[in-house]
Amino acid sequence: MAPFIPEGIVNPQLNLFFALVLGIGFGYVLEQAGFSSSKKLAGVFYGYDFVVLRVFFTAGITAMVGLLFLSFMGWIDMSLVYINPTYLWSAIIGGVIMGFGFILGGYCPGTSIVAATTGKVDAMLFLAGSMIGMFIFGHFYNQWEPIYTGYFQGNPFVYESLGISKSWFAFLLVMVAIIAFAVTQNIEDRVNNTPSQIKDQRPSYALPAMLLMLAMFSYLFLPEQRKSNASEIPPDQLHALLQDPNRFVDVEEATYKIIKQDEDLVLIDVRSSEDFERFSLPGALNISMEDIIGRRYREFFNNSDKKKVFYSYSESSAQLAWAVAKRAGFENIYILQGGLNGMFATIFDSPDQPGDPYDLEEEFSIRFISKAKQMFLDGEALPSEPTTPLPVKTIIELETAGVSGGC
Amino acid sequence: MNATKNLNNISLLSFGFVAIVVLANLFTTNNYGRANREVVESLNNTPFMANYQLLRNIVNEETNDYQLIDLRPEQSFKIGYLPGAVNIPFDRLLETESLKTIRKISPKIPLLYGADEPCAQSARLLLIAKGLNDNIMVLGGNYEKAFNYGIKNFDPAFVNYKDEKAQYDFNRFMNAGSTGSPERAPRPAGIIPAATVETQSAAGGC
């Protein structure tokens, strides 16, 4: 079901709109937490106010628990969620620079914008400074580039590096958070010399903390994960569809679309890339089975306007890929009847003269096939200039728009 | 303490909601036994095509590790089948009884064949998705081919027969264009830069 945009539930064109709504919400929360005051932000370094730690720990824990339970129930496919990749040295250097800026200026980039909108002059200066920093970064980008894009670590997970399971890590992190909340409250009270009557008036967080711990504790004993996704079709339906004769596109239709260079029909070659490079049908895309359910072509497959036809040498591999795609819930997908072998047998091994002179349908079909044969032989069916297929382009745009978080 | 009461109520409500949804999820039938990703991994990484030499060995009882399974309809099965085969029609594959039969076969390896190869391959995919052991093999071609080339007149030339093979030199037909280059349909150039473009996305950070 989720993530909504890769799964095609929400139009990717609305990306910026949702960014605006979420941005306003984020700014509101930061402001309400008191992050528009640099005194409050710097408090975490001096020990008189730990609200920064509490707010971000809470946000992280909430997101983690939500994602864990949603993905357990099959409502969100974590493999489709964009994870900011790790570039080791650029992260370390950037972190150090940001730490210095935080101590010097009293803000981090997000909170400086919040504070500037509330009219704080120091925050406006801070923003101007970060603009200068951005300018320097952009201007000398070529110099930093080896560091900025180097030392690529992929997407490592903390629990993998620690060698523990995901659920144990989540449990431990929740425990650490709860302990940290209690300890920092204690430090804060000591530094501030909080009078005891104020301490007594605070609400008690005992029950929520207990329930959160209970939830994470029971998560440890839940089975690994649901095997089926909410957007997938059940096995019985897949089984029935595998026997449905309508899953095929016949050779004549595919040939007609190739000759017409019709962009509403996309041929998908599921053979290996070596086979694809040796020969492929004009305009075909080479998509492996992993990519069918991966992130890269998600947008393309969710777009059910285009007829997508899987082919391989025969129907065998094409049907497997088709079944995988069908299970994932993709619509408007078909298999090329007979595969490449069947297609070439029909076009090049068929008689030129109709057997029955009075069968008009047969005559038309044979006339079409012999015309197609001629066009294929002359190379007329090929696009005059190899153009980049349309879907690939949009995918790249989508990938660049990977949402990267940060406060 | 009003604030404490509110907090407790909210946390109890949300905990109860999550607990109910998780329990409801646990008790609804789990349709698949393997995630789609695991199925694809298994399809790509486990060799599963059997050849006619193996079939010959099974029929001559030189090996006892395999059990032939005929996926054709009952009528076709009655007319003829490979020696030792069990009939499980494809349209009844996912019935409890059929699954039980296939499970009972182990430690022998099920060897599937049908009226055509895609049918046998899809049956394997469905069984793996259902969570059965992915050590299931598929006989290349269909029943007639297996019977003719594997048993009736064994022909070494066809021993590795399978559908998924080029039967033509396709380039000779399609590549008669003026360019004559063998790499007429190159990989779309756009796919490769995706990774490099992605790295330049404005990475946030607080």
**Tell me, what's the pLDDT at B205?**
46
Q: What is the pLDDT of residue B187?
A: 44
Whether the complex's predicted ipTM surpasses the cut of 0.95: no
Most confident listed range (A169-178, A270-279, A290-299, B154-163)? A169-178
Which pLDDT tens digit goes with each residue over A355-403?
676 777 777 888 888 888 878 777 666 655 444 444 444 444 444 444 4
- Rounded distance between C-alpha atoms, residue A214 and residue B11, angstroms: 12
Spatial separation of the C-alpha atoms in residues A231 and A89, rounded to whole Å: 39
Q: Mean pLDDT over residues A251-267, rounded?
A: 85
pLDDT for B27 equals 74
DSSP string, chain B: -HHHHHHHHHHHHHHHHHHHHHHHHHHS----SS-HHHHHHHHHHS--EE-HHHHHHHHTTS--SEEEEE-S-HHHHHH---TT-EE--GGGTTSHHHHHHHHHHTTSEEEEE-SSHHHHHHHHHHHHHTT--S--EEESS-HHHIIIIIIIT--GGGTT--SSS--S-HHHHH--SSS--S--SPPPGGGTHHHHHHHTS-----
Q: Given a cut of 80, is residue B173 above it in pLDDT?
A: no
Tell me the two tokens of residue A401: 């728009």
Predicted local confidence at residue A139, as pLDDT: 94
Shortest distance between the Cα of A65 and any Cα of chain B, in A, equals 11
pLDDT band at A124 (very low <50, low <70, confident <90, very high): very high
- Does residue A102 carry a pLDDT above 60? yes
Query: Within an 8 Å CB–CB cutoff, is residue B96 touching chain A?
Result: no
**Rounded mean pLDDT, A20-28:** 93
Q: Is A39 on the interface with B (CB under 8 A)?
A: no
Domains of chain A by residue range: 12-220, 235-400
Structure confidence at residue A154 (pLDDT): 83
Strand A86-87 with A152-154, pairing = antiparallel
C-alpha–C-alpha distance, residues A150 and A148, integer Å: 6
What local confidence, expressed as pLDDT, does residue B199 receive?
39
CB-based contact A290:A320 (threshold 8 Å): no
Beta-carbon separation of B126 and A239 below 8 A? yes
Report the pLDDT averaged over residues A298-303.
83
C-alpha distances in angstroms, A364 versus A351, A356, A367, A368? 13, 12, 5, 6
pLDDT of residue A103: 83
Write out chain A in H/E/C secondary structure.
CECCCCCCCCCHHHHHHHHHHHHHHHHHHHHHCCCCCHHHHHHHHHCCCCHHHHHHHHHHHHHHHHHHHHHHCCCECHHHCCCCCEEHHHHHHHHHHHHHHHHHHCCCHHHHHHHHHCCCHHHHHHHHHHHHHHHHHHHCHHHHHHHHCCCEEECCCHHHHHCCCHHHHHHHHHHHHHHHHHHHHHHHHHHHCCCHHHHHHCCCCHHHHHHHHHHHHHHHCCCCCCCCCCCCCCHHHHHHHCCCHHHEECHHHHHHHHHHCCCCEEEEECCCHHHHHHCCCCCCEECCHHHHHCCCCHHHHHCCCCEEEEECCCCHHHHHHHHHHHHCCCCCEEEECCHHHHHHHHHHCCCCCCCCCCCHHHHHHHHHHHHHHHHHHHCCCCCCCCCCCHHHHHHHHHHHCCCCCCC
pLDDT confidence band for B188 (50 / 70 / 90): very low
Among chain A residues, the shortest Cα distance to B41 is held by A290
CB-based contact (8 Å) between A84 and chain B?
A: yes
d(Cα B11, Cα A145) in Å, to the nearest integer? 48
Query: Cβ A235–B194 below 8 Å, yes or no?
Result: no
CA A344 to chain B, closest CA, distance in angstroms equals 8
* A40 and A49 Cβ atoms separated by less than 8 Å: yes
pLDDT at B197 over 90: no
What integer pLDDT is reported at residue B145 of this predicted model? Answer: 86
Rounded mean pLDDT, B140-151: 86
pLDDT at A354: 64
The answer, yes or no, to whether residue A310 has pLDDT greater than 70, is yes
Using CA atoms, how far residue A49 sits from A59, A175, A204, B94, in Å, is 18, 21, 19, 62
Of residues A223 and A276, more confidently modeled: A276
Chain B residue nearest residue A284, CA to CA:
B185
Q: What is the pLDDT of residue B182?
A: 43
Nearest to B161, CA basis, from B58, B52, B47:
B52
Residues A406, B206: C-beta atoms closer than 8 Å: yes
Residue-level pLDDT at A333: 93
Residues 6+ away with beta carbon under 8 Å from A139: none
Instruction: Report the chain B residue with the minimal C-alpha distance to residue A293.
Output: B37
- Main-chain dihedrals φ then ψ at residue A112, nearest 5 degrees: -65, -35
Is residue B33 less than 8 Å (CB to CB) from chain A?
A: yes
In chain B, which residues have their Cβ closer than 8 Å to the Cβ of A223?
A: 26
Task: Work out the pLDDT band at A224, boundaries 50, 70, 90.
Answer: low
Q: Can you tell me the mean pLDDT for A229-243?
A: 85
Instruction: Note whether residue B19 is domain-resident.
Output: no
Q: Taking 70 as the threshold, does the pLDDT of residue A189 lie above it?
A: yes
> Which of 102-131 (A) contact B at CB < 8 A?
108-111
CA A101 from centre of chain: 32
The answer, for B93 touching chain A at a CB cutoff of 8 Å, is yes
Residues B54-105 have pLDDT tens digits of: 888 888 888 888 899 999 999 989 998 888 889 999 989 988 888 888 888 8
Q: Do A315 and B118 touch (CB under 8 A)?
A: yes
Question: Candidates 3.30.230.70, 3.40.50.720, 1.20.120.530, 3.40.250.10; correct CATH number of A235-400?
Answer: 3.40.250.10
Query: Inter-chain contact B206–A407, Cβ cutoff 8 Å?
Result: yes
Cα separations in angstroms, A392 against A20, A160, A181, A266: 27, 33, 48, 12
| A156: pLDDT strictly greater than 90 | no
Please tell me the total count of domains within chain B: 1
Structural domain of B77: 38-152
pLDDT mean across residues, chain A: 84
- The CB-based long-range contact list for A361-367 (8 Å cut-off, 24+ gap) reads A365/A252
Residue A24 pLDDT exceeds 90: yes
